Amino acid sequence: MIRHTITILAVAALASCSPTAKEQTKSNDQTHSANSLTTPADTIPKVTGIGGIFFYSDNPQEAKQWYTKNLGIEINDWGSSSFESRNINKPEEINSLQWKPFKKGDEYFAPSNKDFMINYRVQNIAGLVNKLKDNGVVVLDSIIAYDGIGKFVHLMDPEGNKIELWEPEN
């Protein structure tokens, strides 16, 4: 309660200050500059975050139970866990990171022989796939769209790691 009162008083005090025309222009320029960094029109093909961490386990059910009991990771109906966070540049946007152990040898990681796979959240997945192909990257499949979830595609990095790209549905 005290923190809210102090915040309200600080806002009221700042509002009562009348900036000079030069200060107002500078403030408007800074606001415009900050907003231009986060415009929704940003369609540059790129990774924007981590969408998931997946790893092999000898016994995924026991692994999930261990992580739940010892680290408090709650498992959802899909057998994974979802960690949510807000996009710092767009606070109204909630991002999700998926975590899931897979049975060792599961074909989902193929053709990689690694014990993990990372899912990267991307924007403009079609443009990114074109860029990757132009750069000689091995793209394993075509972009697949799932209603309510988004678009996915898989590729291999030079170290033999399978990577999953995910463009969330808006």
Residue with more model confidence, 46 or 26: 46
Q: Evaluate if residue 51 carries a pLDDT over 90.
A: yes
Query: Residue ranges of the domains in the chain?
Result: 2-36, 46-168
**Residue 157, both tokens:** 């990095």
Cβ 155 vs Cβ 165: under 8 Å:
yes
Residues 144, 150, 134, 54: is their CA dihedral positive or negative?
Answer: negative
Q: What digits encode the pLDDT tens for the residues 86-112?
A: 888 889 988 889 999 999 999 999 999
Given the candidates 3.40.50.1820, 3.40.50.920, 3.40.50.300, 3.10.180.10, the CATH classification of the domain at 46-168 is 3.10.180.10
State mean pLDDT over 4-30.
37
The whole-angstrom separation of Cα 23 and Cα 2 is 31
Mean pLDDT for all residues in the chain:
81
Q: What digits encode the pLDDT tens for the residues 106-127?
A: 999 999 999 999 999 999 999 9
The whole-angstrom separation of Cα 91 and Cα 53 is 23
Give pTM, 2 decimals: 0.72
**Residue 66, both tokens:** 């261990």
